[in-house]
Structure 1
């Protein structure tokens, strides 16, 4: 009775007042949970909002602890009301066992739940600070997504993956602007410290985009810091320099940044149960300075964290631009496959992985905004534009061409992108019909197989489909 309807045992055989109060509280809690579940089914964002609100998590944690202690007291009282000492020995032993199992399993589960909620609350407070919220620029939020090498002292010091996500503040429509790590001779944001040092662009010997952070932290005095600056100060210096580089290249104002530790990324993928990817060719695990330990075989399959990390990072039998295309496909798959049910059911694992892998300037006050945008983005095609060959010479980029590419990508709405794709399909169909008519007297040629390089559709010379598309999902 105490397991199914707490308070009912007291209502029948004990203190009826206590029983009535407890039963009402229990039925009220059940009603609230049912209502929240119903709202969550109707409104996806509601579950996310609750799971990411630290105040709600704090109240929930306290409630679970109180509930555990109260339920334990009810079990003990129910045991007393059962007058176990009047039972025969064998029955008394059975009653002891049943009561003990019920008490420890229920109370233990509630206290473990409180621990999980507390861990989630701590992770959110650790990852998301109290920074100042910024307004969308020209109707878009621009968030710089950085992938850093795993390893002691490397996070914040060497960024190997840089993607600017430009998100429409109303629709969530997203354009991913990818910046290659080997980009050179690019300008910095006007008026920035790096712009003052490199007025003609980042043109020093061996200087590339992924080396901006290192160059800045090697010259802390230029940013008003001493040579003995702390790690946190150096991190801020490196991030400031990187942001000025991205703003100089894209001519867009960056609202926030988020840095993912590649090693921690593996834990996140495992926490959400893996990610389904279309592997187009064998992807080596290892290589480029180290042995190849194995392969991710072709086909649509569920990748665990280790495999997803190598799918994103592998450069053996590939190149940087194919790897960039694969990374975009992983981003798209994670966005589409991570749903509210997964977040709630695996909240503890996700929170633990997040605090270990992520640093960001997005303040907690903006979490609801970005949760809402992410849910909207799941239903919109993701467009991409990449500052890579053949459109751009990464050693000596034409910035007018770069800015035009980005402006064109941002100017295309989801509707216009769909219309463009439909028009292109119609044009291709007409061209194929004309070709078939002109070659009617000859034997038709077999359909050409799509070119796949390093696991991505396309090639370095012709471009990779996922790096320049109006619908990333269909390109992966």
Structure 2
């Protein structure tokens, strides 16, 4: 599987920060191979548990790689957990095969997934990769400066991403979930493709230059992956890419939970074995427990949100997204209190 670059993603004509980050340890680089669909995998595993039983899930869990996401996060800097039974999972995403990748840059995705304490719903909050935040100091002295949020990995790996997200949101991260983006295409194909409503017609900038016509269309894995990568054709750029990824996540989840995948033992086994091999999670996450808790989630129980912003601009030569600090505080205060109606209201305002 391809290794993750240590460089944060840069827009054209941007310059790297003056601090040159050291190359991450080889073992750590292995873990930042990620995708947005890890929550979908967990939900499908939950459905599998209902079908195949706990022993089967335990055998799947043994093949999943573990990552030490919290050891280097100073406990004194971490937010206090407000609602014991609610869960906050940090989902990280990067496409190492993205045709836009140049000089090792990556298209990072950061999602804070909040699971309600009764597990009746989940809110997935996308934080744009160019959001301008304060990145805390990493072990070794990197960071401790304002930068794009996706610079955190370059300076301190997954622990610094956790620390940066916690510092920015004030929300304590309970778990980190990671999956190779190559699994995205595989999962879409495994469920027989997905139906997506394209909001406006456009043509992909990547070979084979697919045309996406406005309206409802069926997409196989390669087409859905291509659709999820596009941003340069849209006035709101990366925000459009986030919307498209959210569309595909919901479509996969609905198709996996309502289609024949969960009732065909052979297809289910092949699907789970191949996707589980791509998944990495933190040392404390139990796939068995999490899958069991999430087994009743469906697309209708998921709400996709985007971190409130004051639009885009520049800092020096860098193109950035400015967070709306007032709305952010209202949103993440509600997340901390597991106040679902307030979470949705804060995101809508």
TM norm structure 1:
0.50
1:244 is matched with 163
2:268 is matched with 347
Q: Which has the higher contact order (CA 8 A, sep 6+)?
A: 2
Say whether residues 1:298 and 2:238 are aligned partners: no
- Residues 384 and 409 in structure 1, CA contact (< 8 A), matched pair in contact too: no
- Residues 117 and 338 in structure 2, CA contact (< 8 A), matched pair in contact too: no
1:276 is matched with 195
Residue among 320, 332, 338 paired with 1:406: 332
1:173 is matched with 121
Residue 129 of structure 1 deviates from its aligned partner by 4.9
Residue 260 of structure 1 deviates from its aligned partner by 2.8
Q: Distance in 2 between matches of 1:211 and 1:388?
A: 19
Q: CA RMSD in A?
A: 4.1
Q: Which structure's CA Rg is the greater one?
A: 1
Structure 1 segments unaligned to the other structure (5+ residues): 1-43, 59-120, 217-237, 421-466, 471-476
Residue 328 of structure 1 deviates from its aligned partner by 1.7
1:148 is matched with 94
Structure 2 segments unaligned to the other structure (5+ residues): 1-44, 70-79, 315-319
1:210 is matched with 150
Q: Distance in 2 between matches of 1:415 and 1:400?
A: 18
Q: Distance in 2 between matches of 1:141 and 1:392?
A: 33
Structure number with the higher helix fraction is 1
- Residues 277 and 333 in structure 1, CA contact (< 8 A), matched pair in contact too: yes
TM norm structure 2:
0.66
Q: Distance in 1 between matches of 2:106 and 2:239?
A: 18
- Residues 52 and 367 in structure 1, CA contact (< 8 A), matched pair in contact too: no
Q: Distance in 1 between matches of 2:191 and 2:122?
A: 23
Residue 252 of structure 1 deviates from its aligned partner by 0.8
- Residues 123 and 302 in structure 2, CA contact (< 8 A), matched pair in contact too: no
Q: Distance in 1 between matches of 2:53 and 2:283?
A: 13
Q: How many residues align?
A: 282
Say whether residues 1:193 and 2:193 are aligned partners: no
Residue 343 of structure 1 deviates from its aligned partner by 3.1
SS at match of 1:293: coil
1:325 is matched with 243
SS at match of 2:189: helix
- Residues 166 and 176 in structure 1, CA contact (< 8 A), matched pair in contact too: yes
Residue among 198, 207, 224 paired with 1:308: 224
Residue 275 of structure 1 deviates from its aligned partner by 1.6
SS at match of 1:403: helix
1:264 is matched with 183
1:96 is matched with none
Q: Distance in 2 between matches of 1:170 and 1:197?
A: 39
- Residues 331 and 342 in structure 2, CA contact (< 8 A), matched pair in contact too: no
Q: Distance in 2 between matches of 1:176 and 1:400?
A: 20
1:373 is matched with 294
Per-residue CA deviation, residues 212-243 of structure 1 (Å, 9 max, x unaligned), is: 21222xxxxxxxxxxxxxxxxxxxxx111111
Ranges of 4+ aligned residues in structure 1 off by more than 3 Å: 44-47, 49-53, 128-132, 156-159, 192-199, 362-366, 368-371, 376-379, 387-401, 408-418, 467-470
- Residues 312 and 321 in structure 2, CA contact (< 8 A), matched pair in contact too: no
